[in-house]
């Protein structure tokens, strides 16, 4: 049991990669504060306190309004990434923007309920996102308002 030619021998993904001739997809990207979204409803702590409180097991209110500024790095310009992000944000009811930066990255600012911001960041890092996302550096803060709709620039 567990010989190298079976799934148990090297892991299912390695076995499937050999079988299909395709490289296994790397693990999903993690971003700072990821654990903020894995906690229960209940507390109205600020977005800045969320990572510290999540580590302590304090419940968070997933309907609380927050803002995320995410720097998305990879092959994300010239592939429809900003417009795809706009569509995802519209579906989730978020407001904000997706803007190309001179260094080849895209800056995404989104504001709305914590659960919707979480879902947008998951989609950005997911397999359906256009281009190739290598890294997402996300910074959270309390919602400030002043944003209307979602824009691309």
Q: Which residue has the tokens 């892991």?
A: 11
68 CA to centre of own chain: 10
115 found inside a domain: yes
31 found inside a domain: no
DSSP string across 76-113: -SSSSHHHHHHHHHHHHT-EEEEEE-TTS-EEEEEEEE
Question: What pLDDT does residue 132 have?
Answer: 92
Question: What pLDDT does residue 39 have?
Answer: 37
- For the chain, helix, strand, coil in percent to 5 are 30, 25, 45
Domain that holds residue 87: 62-152
Identify any residues that bridge with 141 across adjacent strands, giving them in sequence order. 67
- Average pLDDT of adjacent 10-residue blocks, the chain of 153 residues: 49 65 55 41 50 60 88 94 95 94 95 94 93 93 89 86
Question: In this predicted model, what pLDDT tens digit does every residue of 27-57 receive, in sequence order?
Answer: 554 444 444 443 333 444 555 555 565 566 6
35 found inside a domain: no
Question: What pLDDT does residue 146 have?
Answer: 86
Angstrom distance (rounded) from CA 148 to CA 29: 29
Q: Is 87 a catalytic residue?
A: no
Q: Which of 82, 101, 144, 148 is catalytic?
A: 82
Identify any residues that bridge with 22 across adjacent strands, giving them in sequence order. none
- Indicate which CATH number applies to the domain containing 146: 3.30.70.100
Q: Is 3 a catalytic residue?
A: no
53 found inside a domain: no
68 found inside a domain: yes
3-class SS at 75?
strand
Question: What pLDDT does residue 59 have?
Answer: 63
95 found inside a domain: yes
Q: Which of 10, 43, 61, 100 is catalytic?
A: 100
- DSSP 8-class letter at 42: -
71 found inside a domain: yes
Identify any residues that bridge with 97 across adjacent strands, giving them in sequence order. 109, 151
27 found inside a domain: no
3-class SS at 130?
coil
Asked if 141 contacts 111 with a C-beta cutoff of 8 angstroms, the reply is: no
Angstrom distance (rounded) from CA 84 to CA 21: 30
Question: In this predicted model, what pLDDT tens digit does every residue of 100-112 receive, in sequence order?
Answer: 999 999 999 999 9
Q: How many domains does the chain have?
A: 1
């Amino acid at each position: 049991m567990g010989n190298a030619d079976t799934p148990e021998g090297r892991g299912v993904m390695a076995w499937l990669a050999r079988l299909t001739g395709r490289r296994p997809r790397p693990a999903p990207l993690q971003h700072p504060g990821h654990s903020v979204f894995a906690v229960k409803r209940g507390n109205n702590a600020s977005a800045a306190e969320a990572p510290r409180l999540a580590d302590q097991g304090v419940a968070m209110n997933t309907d609380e309004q927050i803002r995320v500024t995410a720097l998305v790095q990879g092959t994300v310009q010239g592939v429809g990434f900003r417009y795809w992000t706009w569509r995802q944000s519209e579906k989730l009811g978020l407001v904000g923007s997706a803007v190309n930066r001179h260094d080849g990255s895209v800056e995404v600012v989104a504001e709305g309920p914590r659960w919707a911001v979480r879902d947008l960041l998951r989609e950005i890092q997911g397999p359906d996102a256009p281009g190739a996302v290598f890294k997402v550096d996300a910074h959270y803060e309390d919602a400030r308002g002043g944003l209307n709709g979602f824009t691309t620039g």
